Amino acid sequence: MEDPTWEHMSAIPSPMKISLFILFIFFNIFRTSAQDSKQFAVVFYNAENLFDWKNDSLTNDDEFTPEGERHWTYSRFRKKIQNTSKVLLAAGQWSAPSIIGLCEVENRFVLDQLLTNTALTSIPYKAIHKESPDPRGIDVTLLYNPADFYPLGYNYYPLINKDGLVQKTREILYVSGILGGTDTLHIFVNHWPSRYGGLMETRNSRKLAAETLKTEALKILESNPFAKIVIVGDFNDQPNDESLHYFGAQNLEGEPVNNLFYNLSSSWMSHDSGTLKYQSQWFVFDQIVVSGALLHSKEGLVTGPENASIVKLSFLLEDDERYGGQKPFRTYNGFHYSGGFGDHLPVRLVITAN
């Protein structure tokens, strides 16, 4: 079908000519935009105890074995990876996520099973992973679709205390690469030390994680003040807690500054929801932080606060009979196996490549 032109519209009354001409302009703007822009989803998910069923003599994983307290079997492991794949695929919304940050993954074998023996096999995901010094053996990892993301390099940063010793906890994963064949994206995946043992007793460990992240992220900005950085993770603190402020994650108010960091999850705390629930209270531990350049960009990769969200899939929630409302549908309630998904909800950031 030919495009309309003024020659074809010569017999059309003038007001209709103007309307059709405006429609023609908007059609071509939309068509050009659709051709020149593409959206990519970055998802983070705490998979909650994604263990295999085999005993590892080097880690404290006895709980997740057939003879352990949770009676973790091969069939339960299979159910867990099927559930996890369902979450990850659905979290991308309209298409499978281009990049996935995961935490609480036991080892590379678990990742390989997740990628080859579930619905994720339909996407050619590749994994960046290494064993962490965590006593339980749980790691942070990054999955990426090579059709969308081309990694340039990666590193794992351990938490090193004032005595120069490596703290036995999860490392921070850093990956840089080209997203959508358009622009360089820097990604940090975090799983900061938990509050187990007491909030005040463990806060210095999270401050150490914040200091480590800050050091490495600022190195990137010192080299390139316009660097586009995405920081995701389970921080075991909320956006308004000391550790996130120490890192420098600000609320977005007014025009973003290229070389500052903005916590796009801060607004989530104003609602009666979060990414995990303890008793009657929701918490926002899973967060998305970005550099100002990613919000301020006129070309290449760009996003906005409206593109960051908690993924509240209905199958991830169940009625909370004790405290009211809903709560995450977990694999275990206490030591009772319920066959659910996990204690955290995923978070998603949509990035546009122009």
- Domains annotated for the chain, with CATH where assigned, are 38-353 (3.60.10.10)
**Burial category of 306 from C-beta neighbours within 10 Å (exposed 0-12, middle 13-18, buried 19 and up):** exposed
Distance from C-alpha of 24 to C-alpha of 31, rounded to nearest angstrom: 10
297 — pLDDT class (breaks 50, 70, 90)? confident
85 — pLDDT class (breaks 50, 70, 90)? very high
> Alpha-carbon torsion 264, 269, 272, 273, what sign?
positive
DSSP H helices, 68-198, are 74-91, 108-116
210 — pLDDT class (breaks 50, 70, 90)? very high
Instruction: Determine the pLDDT at residue 147.
Output: 97
Does the pLDDT at position 162 exceed 60?
Answer: yes
Contacts of 178 (CB under 8 A, 6+ apart): 149, 150, 152, 184, 185
| DSSP three-state, residue 208 | helix
- Higher-confidence position of 184 and 13: 184
Name the percent of the chain in helix, strand, coil, to the closest 5. Answer: 30, 30, 40
198 — pLDDT class (breaks 50, 70, 90)? confident
| Residue 226 identity (one-letter amino acid) | F
Per residue in 93-106, pLDDT (tens digit) is 888 999 999 999 99
Q: What is the mean pLDDT of residues 323-328?
A: 95
Query: Which candidate, 35, 30, 38, places its Cα nearest to that of 183?
Result: 38
Does the pLDDT at position 20 exceed 80?
Answer: no
Per-residue tokens: 96: 């499978």
**Burial category of 227 from C-beta neighbours within 10 Å (exposed 0-12, middle 13-18, buried 19 and up):** buried
Q: Are strands 286-291 and 261-263 parallel, antiparallel or unpaired?
A: antiparallel
Does the pLDDT at position 231 exceed 70?
Answer: yes
Distance from C-alpha of 102 to C-alpha of 116, rounded to nearest angstrom: 17
Per-residue tokens: 350: 């949509």
> Alpha-carbon torsion 17, 19, 20, 22, what sign?
positive
Mean pLDDT of the chain: 90
3-state secondary structure 291-326: EHHHHHCCCCEECCHHHEEECCCHHHEEECCCCCCE
Instruction: Determine the pLDDT at residue 272.
Output: 81
Per residue in 57-73, pLDDT (tens digit) is 999 999 999 999 999 99
Locus of tokens 């550099």: 291
Per residue in 112-141, pLDDT (tens digit) is 999 999 999 999 999 999 999 999 999 999
Instruction: Determine the pLDDT at residue 36.
Output: 55
Q: What is the pTM of this model?
A: 0.89
Does the pLDDT at position 32 exceed 50?
Answer: no
Does the pLDDT at position 215 exceed 70?
Answer: yes
354 — pLDDT class (breaks 50, 70, 90)? confident
Whether 43 and 99 have beta carbons less than 8 Å apart is answered as yes
Q: What is the mean pLDDT of residues 185-204?
A: 91
Distance from C-alpha of 144 to C-alpha of 322, rounded to nearest angstrom: 39
Instruction: Determine the pLDDT at residue 197.
Output: 79
22 — pLDDT class (breaks 50, 70, 90)? very low
Does the pLDDT at position 196 exceed 80?
Answer: yes
Q: What is the share, in percent, of the chain residues with pLDDT greater than 90?
A: 83
